[in-house]
Amino acid sequence: GNSVTQMEGPVTLSEEAFLTINCTYTATGYPSLFWYVQYPGEGLQLLLKATKADDKGSNKGFEATYRKETTSFHLEKGSVQVSDSAVYFCALNSNFGNEKLTFGTGTRLTIIP
């Protein structure tokens, strides 16, 4: 079945540091890949997505590239801010005609001023 393996947290960085959160996946076919963010006390918000190999998703300074050869979708940001503190989830949809998302375990990110 499908699975997503995500970098264990928590991750603590200083403001303006470079961020990488690793994500690898196992899936049949050609899944779509997503990064969701969850702020304290809230639901999930879609951060970025990519639907085919070599696509780069980007939003709010975050980027991730769909690498089929390494089955990876690592999240990066060049300069993090305190407001980026949240839990980040990598997810995939198998595109087999349903909306089921398979999530990674989540990575808690804390940015200190």
Partner 1 sequence: KAGVTQTPRYLIKTRGQQVTLSCSPISGHRSVSWYQQTPGQGLQFLFEYFSETQRNKGNFPGRFSGRQFSNSRSEMNVSTLELGDSALYLCASSAKPGQLNNEQFFGPGTRLTVL
Which residues are at the interface with partner 1 (CB under 8 A)? 32, 36, 41-46, 49, 51-52, 89, 91, 95, 97-106
Distance CA 71, CA 24 (A): 6
Q: Cα 66 vs. chain centroid, distance in angstroms?
A: 11
Cβ closest to partner 1, residue 37 vs residue 111: 37
Cis status, amide bond into 10, omega within 30 of 0 = yes
Report the chain's C-alpha Rg in angstroms: 14
Cβ closest to partner 1, residue 17 vs residue 101: 101
Q: Cα 39 vs. chain centroid, distance in angstroms?
A: 14
Q: What minimum distance in Å lies between the beta carbon of 73 and partner 1?
A: 15
Q: What minimum distance in Å lies between the beta carbon of 47 and partner 1?
A: 11
Cβ closest to partner 1, residue 24 vs residue 102: 102
Distance CA 38, CA 83 (A): 12
Cβ closest to partner 1, residue 23 vs residue 106: 106
